[in-house]
Amino acid sequence: MPAEKNEYRILVVDDENSLRELLTILLQREGYQVDQAADGAAAFSMIQETTYDLVISDIQMPKMTGIDLLRQLRAQDIDVTVMMITAFSSTEEAVEAMKLGAYDYITKPFKNDEIRLVIKNALEREHLQQENRQLKKQLGQRFSFQSLIGKSPAMSNLITLLERVAPSQANVLITGESGTGKELVAQALHLNSGRKKHPFVPINCGAIPENLLESELFGHEKGAFTGADKRKDGLFESADNGTLFLDEIGELPMGMQVKLLRVLQEREFRRVGGTSNVPLNIRLVAATNQDLSEMIKEGSFREDLFYRLNVVSIELPPLRSRQGDIQLLINSFYQRLTGKGEYPIQKQALELLLNYDWPGNVRELENLVERCVVLGENDELTIECLPEQMKKKNHNLCGVIGDLPDEGFELEKWLEDLERTVLLQALVKSGGVRKRAAELLGINFRSIRYRLGKLGIGDDT
């Protein structure tokens, strides 16, 4: 009884009609979709028009041999798994085919069970390779600079800077509040650099206990301490030729700061318990949400290490400074979670979102979208799905301050926030139509365009 049909398509190439028919019947009984070609030239034309998971080809054929077919496929960069069939006396040609990239070969006469197993293994390998290619493609798309969501001036400036910095070998220090996407930017730098084929190794400096930190970073030799029953490579060594990302660099203890400085200066390190230095070729990207300049003044961070890390400084903008990107981010997170298009947002909910301070930045917004997808009804983001603290917090800056605080306050910033809030509310009420928003505020179109540009509110708002 024939096996159930599956998605695999196989091309059988042989100038012997009887062998082609035998293989075709055998493979169709296994449920595979099978096509035939009588020589390499015909096979090459078919492969250009149809996608095959596996090509099974005889080596000795007229017009174009199996070896020539394989060469042609590789020259045209056609990625398909090829298995060769050869006479027992021609195994040297089969070995040559393997050197050219053939998956395997089988000699005639062959046993049916033998060829079934080889074909099954070849298709499993092809399936894994396809998954790997797809994952790499998705990874490349996710961490391309174009995938960094936002059209606000702040994001446009950031992407321009990243495109210039990525190809260099310079150490980079990424600063920004928690949740602004520092690791995402570090990964994008790596995957757009010449080191992208080598490892990206992230380390959270605050997550490893201090007594284990040196061993984790630099590795250790067998017998270096109790329990070290074999040599272990550290995270620095794992990142060789690639990118090492030190997140929360401000949490690094002073003793480790000294060791890190020496590694950056000498481009080598020594495992715990080791007697020889190990050369190291890495690009270092560090990140922090702390003010390292203040930590230097306080004596908790080394100034010489700071200058080693801060060859190129990249500051990530907080979400509250790029409200114009909020809807773009919401749609992106919604699409990632559901596979659907834009996420409809209730007008009152959007007004709250645009006026919210976002202390958790982009990470907080992503969590909010996931919450609303779970709790919301009718595929709409409504006020009902927002957390209570967001609904209760008073974001209306239009009111009078009341008594001036004893400690004073920043008038310019208050006025800027006030202007931003009023402009955003007008845009929400006008459905994003700037001319109508200008009329609501009693100003002309040129004035609203100038004010929005000055505050960094992009055209996408």
Q: Cβ atoms within 10 A of the Cβ of 447, count?
A: 12
What is the rounded (10 degree) CA torsion for 343, 347, 350, 356? -160
pLDDT at residue 78, as a whole number: 83
Q: Is the pLDDT of residue 39 over 50?
A: yes
Q: Cβ atoms within 10 A of the Cβ of 14, count?
A: 25
% of the chain with per-residue pLDDT over 70: 89
Tell me what the mean pLDDT of segment 399-427 comes to.
Answer: 73
Closest by CA to 53, choosing from 12, 91, 85, 109, is 12
Q: Cβ atoms within 10 A of the Cβ of 54, count?
A: 21
* Domain at 399-461: CATH code: 1.10.10.60
- What confidence tens digit (pLDDT) does each residue in 430-457 have? 777 888 888 888 888 888 888 888 877 7
Q: Which CATH superfamily is domain 9-139 in?
A: Response regulator (3.40.50.2300)
Q: Is the pLDDT of residue 11 over 90?
A: yes
**Cβ proximity of 108 and 87 under 8 Å:** yes
Tell me what the mean pLDDT of segment 217-238 comes to.
Answer: 82
Q: Is the pLDDT of residue 269 over 60?
A: yes
**Of the given ranges (107-111, 212-216, 335-339, 394-398), which has the lowest mean pLDDT?**
394-398
pLDDT at residue 133, as a whole number: 58
Domain boundaries, the chain: 9-139, 147-317, 321-395, 399-461
| Cα(355)–Cα(427) distance, integer angstroms | 12
Band of residue 364 on the pLDDT scale cut at 50, 70, 90: very high
Instruction: Count CA atoms within 13 Å of residue 402 on its CB side.
Output: 3
Instruction: Please tell me which residue, 23 or 95, carries the higher pLDDT value.
Output: 23
Band of residue 396 on the pLDDT scale cut at 50, 70, 90: very low
pLDDT at residue 419, as a whole number: 84
DSSP state of 37: E
**Of the given ranges (14-23, 144-153, 324-333), which has the lowest mean pLDDT?**
144-153
- What confidence tens digit (pLDDT) does each residue in 78-116 have? 888 898 888 765 667 777 888 888 888 888 778 888 888
Q: What are phi and psi of 269, to 5 degrees?
A: -150, 175
The model's pTM is 0.59
Q: Is the dihedral of CA 191, 245, 162, 267 positive or negative?
A: negative
Task: Judge: domain 147-317, CATH 3.40.50.300.
Answer: yes
> Is it true that 9-139 and 147-317 share their CATH fold?
yes
Task: Give the DSSP H or E segment for 394.
Answer: none
Q: Is the dihedral of CA 259, 263, 266, 271 positive or negative?
A: positive
Any idea which architecture 321-395 has in CATH? Orthogonal Bundle (1.10)
Residue whose token pair is 């059988």: 12
DSSP codes joined into one string, 266-298: HSEE--BT-SS-EE---EEEEEESS-HHHHHHH
- State the chain's mean pLDDT as an integer: 84
Band of residue 460 on the pLDDT scale cut at 50, 70, 90: very low
